[in-house]
Structure 1
Amino acid sequence: MQAVTTKPGTPISQTAARFSWAAAVLSLILLAALHFLKPEFDPSWRMVSEYAIGRNGWVMDIAFLSLSVSCVALFVAIRPQIRTTGGYIGQTLLLISAAAIATAAFFTIDPITASKDALTTHGNLHGLASMIGNPGLTIAAILISRSLIPEQSWSPSRRLLLWTSNLIWICLLLMLLTLAVTLPQSGGKFGPNVLIGWPNRLLMVAYCTWLMSVAWHALKLYSQRS
């Protein structure tokens, strides 16, 4: 048998891992459901945050809050496993990102087609939260994964953590490149020619996949020791 090099988890850590996994799954399910609940938003160029506008907007709010809860629960779940400075920084960013995602849930975005004169305070706050949460969670995933994969007890999920954490920054880069290339061609205005929707959705899926992967392995690790 391989020697276990990480610290033992507590019952709280095990419960938190379950919550993190379940909350990430719920966020994905709700996001998928919104494509049927609100078909008026073309997924090829409309942002997922826009699902919070109008009828059934509360479903997107819960999806964001579920993602935030998953981040906080994961912080608790893997806290005994983190040993490196990078891992501690990643955990801090994980909490900051959770706060930003929760803020995005409480402040509804303005339609991306709105003119600058039509922008609202709550829409600007949502935008600010996104500017913090997206890079924050991306960096957190990379730092936490790099802190965990050298540990012997995390070796079964080493490849999965590498793939899922790298997928996040690839999706974020794809989204930013799409904006950089297509938005100027559309005169700086969002529309059907600015295909930002799918990269935005892939990024959400990547977040949830990474959270589920880390939480699932932590849960298996603690279950083996109980």
Structure 2
Amino acid sequence: MNNHTTMTGPVFGGKSAVLVASTGAALLLLIALHFLRPDVDPTWVFLSDYMLGSWGWLMRFTFVAMALALGSSAVILAVLLRGWGRWIVSGLLGLAAFGMVIGGVFPPDPTGTPVEALTGTGTLHIIGASLDFTPIAALIGSITLARQSGGRGAALWLLVASLFTVFVMVAFIISMPPDHVFGPETHSALIGRLQWLSYFIWFVGLAFVAYRGRRENRAQQWGNEA
């Protein structure tokens, strides 16, 4: 058994399960919050505002679930990828996970708060959000995986999913008002929700790629033993 097969067995088995479970938990929690907080207008009020109500603890758990998904993605790609690029990708995903932790610890100021009126915790929350380099990491990691696989199979679909995350990220940046003051006439929050959805799609794709890789490693191992 080679070292790559030895490493991927437990990583793919454990971390892929964590990735799927945390992704599903984050998605279900967000769906529940949209029903529990009908007073929050999803077209212009950001997801973080769910932390400010009586159901704020659910949003904190959502941030934790996202951090776990990003962290497990970092570990999976550290094993799947070859070369120095894997450390860049894993580092960016780890940084995004750390940002999610910051976002879950420090509550934001309500959407629409002027920049000059931001509180200390609100500023820290924004700093945590600014560490989200998930689309960049997803694109670099997916391109590398597609090249390693010869542009075939699940890795190619993962690349398509990563392009979607980048597209939504660009749309989010373009939608930002120049004065960074959000109101009913802005739609950045709605695009932000779409951005998280794009992450969920990419997480599921990565988990599938890891699962396929584990099966192929096992088949290769059995073939070598035979």
Cα pair distance change 1:62/1:131, threshold 3 Å: same
Q: 2:145 aligns with which of 136, 143, 148?
A: 148
Shift of 1:219: 1.9
Amino acid at match of 1:176: I
User: What is the CA distance between 1:87 and its match in structure 2?
Assistant: 2.9
3-state secondary structure, aligned to 1:149: helix
Instruction: Indicate the SS of the match to 1:100.
Output: helix
State how many pairs are aligned.
214
Q: Which runs of 4+ in 1 moved over 4 A?
A: none
| Pair 1:195 & 2:207 matched | no
TM-score, normalized by length of structure 1?
A: 0.87
Q: 1:61 to 1:153 in 2, by over 3 A?
A: farther
Q: CA, structure 1 residues 153+215, in 2 after alignment: closer, same or farther (shift >3 Å)?
A: farther
User: By how many angstroms is 1:10 displaced?
Assistant: 2.6
Question: How big is each residue's C-alpha offset from its partner over 1:164-194, in whole Å with a ceiling of 9 and x where there is no partner?
Answer: 1011111111111111xxx35xx76321101
Could you say what secondary structure the match of 1:10 adopts?
A: helix
Counterpart amino acid of 2:109?
A: D
Partner of 1:206: 198
Q: Which runs of structure 2 are paired with 1:47-86 in the superposition (5 Å)?
A: 47-86=46-85
CA-atom RMSD, angstroms? 2.0
Which letter maps to 2:140? Answer: L
Q: Which residue of 2 aligns with 1:225?
A: 217
Which residue in 2 is equivalent to 1:3?
none
Q: Are the aligned partners of 2:113 and 2:181 in contact in 1 as well (CA < 8 Å)?
A: no
Structure 1 position 74, deviation (Å): 1.9
Residue 170, structure 1, aligned to residue 162, structure 2: no
Matches within 5 A, 1:30-109: 30-109=29-108
Q: How many Å separate the matches in 2 of 1:223 and 1:199?
A: 36
Which whole-Å CA distance do the structure 2 matches of 1:119 and 1:106 have between them?
16
Distance 1:157-1:111 versus aligned 2 partners, 3 A rule: same
Letter matched to residue 99 of structure 2: A
Q: Which amino acid aligns with 1:137?
A: T
> TM-score, normalising length from structure 2?
0.87
Structure 1 residue 220 displacement after superposition: 2.9
**What percentage of residue pairs aligned between the two structures are identical?**
26
> Hey, what's the Cα distance between the residues in 1 that align with 2:70 and 2:156?
21
Q: Deviations over 1:5-39 (max 9, x none)?
A: x9321323321111112111211111111110111
Q: Is the 8 A contact 1:18 1:219 kept in 2?
A: no
Q: Are the equivalent residues in 2 in contact too, given 1:25–1:212 (CA < 8 A)?
A: no
- Structure 2 residue runs of 5 or longer lacking an equivalent are 219-226
1:76-129 Cα distance to aligned partner (Å, 9 max, x none): 223221103333211111111111111111111111222345421111000011
- Which gives a bigger RCO, structure 1 or 2 (Cα 8 Å, sep 6+)? 1
C-alpha distance in 2, partners of 1:90/1:138? 10
Which letter maps to 1:214?
A: L
**Structure 1 residues 162 and 152, CA gap change in structure 2 (3 angstroms):** closer
Asked whether the 8 Å contact 2:43–2:187 carries over to 1, the reply is: yes
